[in-house]
């Protein structure tokens, strides 16, 4: 199948099957940019409500550049990969300060911005500026590996380069934005990881994996490393005014800029209440008594999983001061909603708020 036929078939299919998305048809490169950052490693359905809310809070790149990081992280709360939000915020300031508020139009310029890599640079320039740069995301990797019969390990960077070259060769220079989106949509809706709907694929005629009955083994991805599991103990420290103590995670740490209940990993030969008491001594320089468990929960992060035990604590001796965290704060239960928390801690705040009522 020639490139022109591939593109014609693909774009015709796309015209009839494309899903509605709030950023589709959007001409403002800032909004395209925001959508693409949110869509990194994130499904359309999960990102959509966040996009609506984010744009209503920060309608222009100036609004975003002027915002506090805490506002930006609050808007990102629950979406994950929070470095995306911090980098997007940084990049918005760069665009305002160094590009006069205009998103740079060239691939080589836009990729210099924090949080914009090869995928996002190609996506924004092709969709917003009609530049013939091919995107390679998880969908495109799957579609092109099958179409060209590439059986190499998709985890290796050599394979990524090969797929990028194929995509650059294949892209329709007349309709780069639609071509890119159509290829991703095809991967999402037809050329799915399991049980691809090959009978309804617009480019099935040229697909090697279909011809060889290898759609179930292509793309090949080498096995992932097993994730470790940790037991975590955290303390809910209350004072006489009914406030609880929360801590701000350091900027450079995982979940940087988000708030949490202080705590840490259980050690061998230690009960979980002892863990809480030891961790709070190390992190806040105080002596506490962990006297009652609030709840426990399981949570999976990107590279490890935890079982978290949350214990109510009484302050026995000392005044809390931030040691490992950037800042600490006493807040009323109903004020917890103002602060950005990662998921596992968010569950705890909701439990505290509900128990109060």
Partner DNA sequence: AATGCGGGGCT
Partner DNA sequence: AGCCCAGCATT
Binding site for DNA (CB under 7 A): 21, 24, 35-36, 39-46, 78-83, 87, 113-121, 123, 137-139, 141-142, 155-158, 181, 184-185, 187-188, 193-194, 221, 223-227, 253-255, 299-303, 342-344, 346
Rounded to the nearest 5°, which phi and psi values hold at 220?
-95, 135
Q: Specify the residue, 120 or 210, whose C-beta has the smaller distance to DNA.
A: 120
Give the DSSP per-residue string, 109-173. Answer: HHTTSTT--HHHHHHHHHHHH--------HHHHHHHHHHHT--SBTTSHHHHHHHHHHHHHHS-T
Whether 328 and 320 have beta carbons less than 8 Å apart is answered as yes
Report which of 213, 301, 197 is spatially closest to residue 253, judged by C-alpha positions. Answer: 301
The CB-of-50 to DNA minimum distance in angstroms stands at 10
Rounded to the nearest 5°, which phi and psi values hold at 42?
-140, 135
Whether 95 and 101 have beta carbons less than 8 Å apart is answered as yes
Binding site for 8-oxo-dGTP, residues? 249, 260-263, 345
Q: Specify the residue, 42 or 326, whose C-beta has the smaller distance to DNA.
A: 42
Q: Specify the residue, 161 or 356, whose C-beta has the smaller distance to DNA.
A: 161
Binding site for Mg(2+), residues? 263, 283
Inter-CA distances, 302 with 106, 213, 251, Å: 32, 33, 18
The CB-of-62 to DNA minimum distance in angstroms stands at 21
User: What whole-number distance in Å separates Cα of residue 147 and Cα of residue 316?
Assistant: 66
Whether 290 and 311 have beta carbons less than 8 Å apart is answered as yes
The CB-of-31 to DNA minimum distance in angstroms stands at 12
The CB-of-188 to DNA minimum distance in angstroms stands at 4
- In the sheet that holds 229-237, the strands lie side by side as 263-265, 229-237, 305-317, 287-300
Any catalytic annotation for residue 36? Answer: yes
The CB-of-114 to DNA minimum distance in angstroms stands at 5
User: What whole-number distance in Å separates Cα of residue 81 and Cα of residue 92?
Assistant: 18
Q: Specify the residue, 139 or 325, whose C-beta has the smaller distance to DNA.
A: 139
From the list 36, 166, 185, 189, the catalytic residue is 36
Q: Specify the residue, 82 or 147, whose C-beta has the smaller distance to DNA.
A: 82
Catalytic residues: 36
């Amino acid at each position: 199948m020639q490139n022109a036929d591939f593109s014609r078939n693909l774009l015709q299919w796309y015209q009839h099957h494309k899903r509605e998305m709030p950023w589709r048809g959007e001409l403002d490169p800032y909004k395209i940019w925001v959508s693409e950052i949110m869509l990194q490693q994130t499904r359309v359905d999960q990102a959509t409500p966040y996009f609506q809310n984010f744009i209503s809070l920060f309608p222009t790149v100036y609004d975003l550049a002027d915002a506090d990081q805490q506002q930006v992280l609050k808007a990102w709360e629950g979406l994950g990969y929070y470095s995306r939000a911090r980098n997007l915020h940084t990049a918005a300031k760069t665009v305002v300060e160094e590009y006069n508020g205009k998103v740079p139009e060239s691939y080589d310029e836009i990729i210099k911005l924090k949080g914009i890599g090869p995928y996002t640079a190609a996506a924004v320039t092709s969709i917003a500026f009609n530049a013939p740069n091919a995107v390679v995301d998880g969908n495109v990797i799957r579609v092109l590996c099958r179409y060209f019969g590439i059986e190499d390990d998709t985890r290796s960077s050599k394979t990524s380069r090969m797929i990028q070259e194929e995509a650059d060769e294949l892209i329709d220079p007349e309709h780069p934005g639609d071509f890119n989106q159509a290829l991703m949509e095809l991967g999402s809706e037809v050329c799915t990881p399991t049980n691809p709907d090959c009978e309804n694929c617009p480019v099935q005629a040229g697909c090697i994996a279909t011809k060889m009955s290898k759609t179930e083994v292509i793309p090949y991805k080498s096995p992932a490393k097993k994730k470790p599991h940790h037991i975590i103990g955290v303390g809910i420290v209350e004072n006489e005014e009914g406030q609880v103590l929360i801590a701000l995670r350091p900027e450079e740490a995982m979940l940087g800029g988000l708030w949490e209940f202080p705590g840490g990993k259980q050690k061998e030969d230690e009960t979980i209440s002892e863990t809480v008491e030891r961790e709070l001594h190390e992190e806040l320089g105080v002596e506490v008594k962990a006297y009652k468990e609030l709840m426990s929960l399981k949570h999976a992060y990107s590279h490890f999983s935890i079982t978290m035990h949350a214990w109510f604590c009484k302050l026995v001796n000392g005044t809390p001061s931030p040691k490992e965290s950037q800042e600490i704060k006493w807040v009323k239960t109903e004020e917890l909603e103002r602060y950005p928390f990662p998921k596992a801690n968010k569950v705890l705040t909701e439990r505290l708020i509900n128990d109060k009522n």
